[in-house]
Amino acid sequence: MIAQNPFDLFRQECQTVLTVAIKKTLPEITPPAINLKRTANLDFGQLATSLCFELAKKLNQKPILVAKNLVAAVNNSTFEFIEKVEPAGAGYINFHVNFPKFNALILESIKTLNKNYGLVKTDQPKSIIVEHTSVNPLHPIHIGQARNPMLGDALSRILQCRGHNVSRHYYIDDVGRQSSVVAYGYSKLGRPKPNEKADLFVGKIYTVTSCIVEISRLKKGKASSSNTSSADDLAKINKEIDEWTSIAVELKEKYPILFETLMEKIGEDADPEEEINSLNRSYEDGSPDAKNLIREVSDLCLEGFRQTMKRVGVTYDSWDWESDFVWSTQVSEVMAKLKASQFVFSEKGVLEFDAEKVIKTFDLKSKLGLSDNHEISPLTLVRADGTTLYTTRDIAYTIWKFKNAQKVINIIGMEQSLAQLQLKIALYAMGYCENADNLVHFAYNLVTLPGYKMSSRRGHYITFDEVLDEAIQRAYSEVSKRSPSLSDEEKHDIANFVGLGAVRYALLDVDPGKPVVFTWERVLNFETNSAPYVQYTHARACSILRKVEHKPEYLNLELLTERLERELILALAEFPDIFVEATEYLKPNIIADYINTLADKFNTFYNAYPVIKAKTPELSDARIALTKAIQIVLKNALTLIGVFAPEKM
């Protein structure tokens, strides 16, 4: 017998047995839902229910008495995977699994299903778009942004394994002032070909151009307002000029030729800020020259992104240009629909969307999880110069995504929570209520590096590539220490998958709502809670299996009676539930937590008991089968989060 979720068979049997006992002893009572929870201790069984506390209130009896009566009415002759049922504590009912039968069910299921074990398919498959990464094409992806693609890719993997039709989308934010700034600087340089990785090249141009243009803007503003501004305002402008001047000194030292060239070329324009604004308007209007320029420099940066993502095994099914939605009628259609509603007003020539009015009109506070006194600020739709804002364009993009999917998941940082909420509210206002219900903002917290402060305008950031390179270098040093007899080629191969896996795991294993504190001591810890630790455990299991010289004809799995062996069996049985929970609640971090726990248990077992050299050949065969099952589940779980499962380390 095999099962995709063996533990669920035991759970269903417990529910059935208890339901029959309730009908038998309490026929007049409408039984409440039976809630079974895993126990924390083997001695208390594997599942327990507090149902008797609820029944006791209806019967005006003590919970323990109700529990004893129900247990006495249980029909033991129907047991298949239950060993015994017993009352416990003040009124709990505990269910103990029949390990001899359960061992066989678990290990046979894992052996037969192999790479498919635990990946329980949904009975309601959906088409789902997961939009992730979506870093603006201005500079390299840095470590602070790298958590996004790691979460997005892991979510896409687990949702796909659950049976959903998943499409991974990258939204290219190429409309707006920032894209025009980098395009302006690129144009001033004569649109040169990169002499290094393209996103690094573009990032330098963006940083230097931004600095020079900002100093020009501030000085021009100071000159025009020196007679009308207050002393406080002038002091504020002077402070900003001083700050940008210090940035300029720093950038000139880092990129002397680039800085001097851009300084000279930008200085030829009387008003660089207006040149950028004009380019921005022209691009949004679809001017061919502006389109060619901004698309060209954006494509350069994106090529760099593709190279970086390829290193960590992240791919995309669709690259969606924000500008395509502006140049089509889609954004204007959104604007027309919102203007026709009662929720848009004009404030000093700026169009505003009254999100709070929508919430009150449709009574959305509860649905959106907002408190009664929580007010949502208006959303600016169009600037006074007629250009649209990011969220306005994002509304059109979201409507387009729902033409291609039943559910949309946006992997976007917590700092965008208000904008994502306003977007959802706009969908309700426009009548896209079902779409709004199926729009998910997967919010995540920041990545912090102790002792390092990132600043994009100063060009202070640690690129994702730099982190990956250092991870591989550090892994090489560690592998060389642990396995000096390996060839240099083998060490480099191992260092590559260890380093890349370590970074992926470190950005995934923390709850998305909490910040990731990125330290090398944690990321490349071979002793606990890291990808290298789990990879090493998987390689250890493979090493044991390679030493097996025979194929047993018969397995007596009843011999797996040690407490650690039973804990491992239960941990293997837990994997399908963990997988389902990770997909239904969008929590890839619990997969990482699970494999770390499984690795801990297996290493404890390995250090305590011999496998191949067990007391008897029969016991050895049973432990080999257990080791094989652990190896399979570790590999399945690592694959879900995009970490390579090595056979040797």
Residue where one domain finishes, among candidates 280, 311, 342: 311
* Same-domain check for residues 47 and 90: yes
Which one-letter DSSP state was computed for residue 486?
S
Q: Is the pLDDT of residue 93 over 90?
A: yes
H or E segment to which residue 624 belongs = helix 617-640
Residue 484 located in a structural domain: no
Confidence at residue 227, expressed as pLDDT on a 0 to 100 scale = 64
* Same-domain check for residues 625 and 501: yes
For 407, list phi and psi in degrees, rounded to 5.
Answer: -140, 140
Residue 459 region, left (φ>0) first, then alpha (ψ -120 to 50), else beta? left
Segment among 216-230, 290-304, 345-359, 360-374 with least mean pLDDT: 216-230
With CA atoms as reference, report the closest residue to 38 among 20, 14, 4: 14
Q: Is the pLDDT of residue 339 over 80?
A: yes
Separation of alpha carbons 217 and 224, rounded Å = 11
* Same-domain check for residues 242 and 334: no
DSSP codes joined into one string, 568-607: HHHHHHHHHHHHHHHHHTT-THHHHHHHHHHHHHHHHHHH
Residue 586 located in a structural domain: yes
Domain CATH code at residue 526: 1.10.730.10
* Same-domain check for residues 545 and 421: no
Q: Is the pLDDT of residue 457 over 70?
A: no
Segment among 27-31, 224-228, 448-452 with least mean pLDDT: 224-228
Confidence at residue 32, expressed as pLDDT on a 0 to 100 scale = 82
DSSP codes joined into one string, 429-451: HTT-HHHHHTEEEEEE--EEBTT
Residue 316 located in a structural domain: no
What's the CA angle centered on 474, arms 473 and 479, to 5 degrees?
Answer: 100
Residue 176 region, left (φ>0) first, then alpha (ψ -120 to 50), else beta? left
Instruction: Please check whether residue 163 is in contact with residue 231, taking contact to mean a CB–CB distance below 8 angstroms.
Output: no
Mean pLDDT of 233-237: 81
Separation of alpha carbons 490 and 472, rounded Å = 13
User: How do strand 516-517 and strand 92-97 relate by DSSP bridges?
Assistant: unpaired
* Same-domain check for residues 208 and 186: yes
Residue 107 located in a structural domain: no
* Same-domain check for residues 291 and 326: no
Instruction: Please check whether residue 632 is in contact with residue 117, taking contact to mean a CB–CB distance below 8 angstroms.
Output: yes
Number of domains in the chain: 4
Question: Which tens digit of pLDDT belongs to each residue from 524-563?
Answer: 888 888 999 999 999 999 999 999 988 877 899 999 999 9
Mean pLDDT of 607-630: 96
Domain enclosing residue 580, as ranges: 496-640
Which of residues 347 and 358 earns the better pLDDT score? 358
Q: Is the pLDDT of residue 440 over 90?
A: yes
Residue 16's alpha-carbon distances to 11, 19, 269, 443, in angstroms, are 9, 5, 81, 39
Angle formed by the axes of helices 99-113 and 563-584, nearest 10°: 50
Confidence at residue 228, expressed as pLDDT on a 0 to 100 scale = 66
User: Which residues are CB-contacts of 271 (< 8 A; sequence separation ≥ 6)?
Assistant: 220
Tokens at 437, concatenated: 């219900």
Per the prediction, the chain carries an average pLDDT of 94
Confidence at residue 230, expressed as pLDDT on a 0 to 100 scale = 73
* Same-domain check for residues 268 and 339: no
Confidence at residue 295, expressed as pLDDT on a 0 to 100 scale = 98
User: Which residues are CB-contacts of 90 (< 8 A; sequence separation ≥ 6)?
Assistant: 53, 63, 64
* Same-domain check for residues 239 and 164: no
Q: What percentage of the chain exceeds 90 in pLDDT?
A: 85
In whole angstroms, what separates CA 140 from the centre of its chain?
20
* Same-domain check for residues 518 and 624: yes
Domain CATH code at residue 156: 3.40.50.620
User: Which residues are CB-contacts of 434 (< 8 A; sequence separation ≥ 6)?
Assistant: none
* Same-domain check for residues 37 and 158: no
Q: Is the pLDDT of residue 383 over 90?
A: no
Mean pLDDT of 581-608: 97
Mean pLDDT of 104-127: 97
Domain CATH code at residue 66: 3.30.1360.70
Q: Is the pLDDT of residue 502 over 70?
A: yes
Greatest mean pLDDT range, 31-40, 176-185, 478-487? 176-185
Segment among 91-105, 338-352, 486-500, 582-596 with least mean pLDDT: 338-352
* Same-domain check for residues 140 and 198: no
Question: Which tens digit of pLDDT belongs to each residue from 16-59?
Answer: 999 999 999 999 888 788 999 999 899 999 999 999 999 999 89
* Same-domain check for residues 602 and 634: yes
Q: Is the pLDDT of residue 229 over 70?
A: no
Separation of alpha carbons 57 and 404, rounded Å = 51
Q: Is the pLDDT of residue 225 over 80?
A: no
- For the chain, what is the radius of gyration of the CA atoms? 30
